[in-house]
Structure 1
Amino acid sequence: MPKSDRQTITLFRPTGPKELALIKQSGDREFPPRLPEQPIFYPVLNEEYAAQIARNWNAASIDTGYIGYVTRFQVRAEFLSRYSVKTVGGSIHQEYWIPAEDLPEFNCNIVGLIEVISEFRQSPT
């Protein structure tokens, strides 16, 4: 179950430097629109899962310059209640599937700032 103070739920998002730059441009307040090949936005429910993705996918890719980040942010629980939690592997692999067209409303329901809580770097192989 997501960590919650009853009004907000803490979520995490693994990201690369390009997406992080767009988050910074928003004043750390919103995620950028999805690209046409990205019909769903996937925030995850725990830091461990986000770190796995940031370390094993983002930081392992030439496209990201071998850098991955984990962001943490709060979203209003009332807004998230319309979506179900999806488990996509082991018990820690839980995420929300937010349709790209709902991302502007999702962003409006972020409480506070999106913060970077960890960074992963790998050397090209």
Structure 2
Amino acid sequence: MSDTASTTTLWRPTGPVELDLVRESGWRAWPPRLPEQPIFYPVLNEDYAIRIARDWNVKHDGAGFVTRFEVDTAFLRRYPVRRAGGETILELWVPAEELDEFNAHIVGEIEVVRAFRAEA
């Protein structure tokens, strides 16, 4: 988690369907969670996001993307950092019912920084 001014950089690995919904938002918001997705989890480092996009999203969706975005740092303090495995496997757990408020604290646009596709 890096602080620049009053924002924190987060990453999110995503598949093509979710990315299309982000594009439809004008690159400003994450779509609502599905009923089986009670948590939205952005991650705290690009390497972890790459591993998920490349190794999970490609396998299940045919493509995986790593996005980067900035969120108001003061707002993020309500979400403790969760370790989901090794020392660098860090993420935030945002309850689905708080996603609209989370989106309101995104500063700037969500950008795609890496793309992975299944081999033909």
TM-score bracket for the superposition, by shorter chain length: over 0.9
C-alpha distance in structure 2 between counterparts of 1:6 and 1:105, whole Å: 21
Q: Which runs of 5+ in 2 are unaligned?
A: none
1:20 match: 19
The AA in structure 2 aligned to 1:23 is: V
1:72-83 matches, cutoff 5 A = 72-83=68-79
C-alpha distance in structure 2 between counterparts of 1:22 and 1:105, whole Å: 17
Q: How many pairs align?
A: 120
User: How far apart are residue 123 of structure 1 and its match?
Assistant: 2.7
TM-score, normalising length from structure 1?
A: 0.93
Deviations 1:26-83 (A, max 9, x none): 000000000000000000000000000000100111xx2x100000000001110011
Deviations 1:81-106 (A, max 9, x none): 01100011111100000000000000
The AA in structure 1 aligned to 2:54 is: R
Query: Which runs of at least 4 in structure 1 moved beyond 2 Å after TM superposition?
Result: none
1:121 and 2:117 aligned: yes
C-alpha distance in structure 1 between counterparts of 2:34 and 2:84, whole Å: 22
TM-score, normalising length from structure 2?
A: 0.97
Q: Specify the SS of the correspondent of 1:52.
A: helix
1:10 match: 9
1:1-125 matches, cutoff 5 A = 2-61=1-60, 64=61, 66-123=62-119
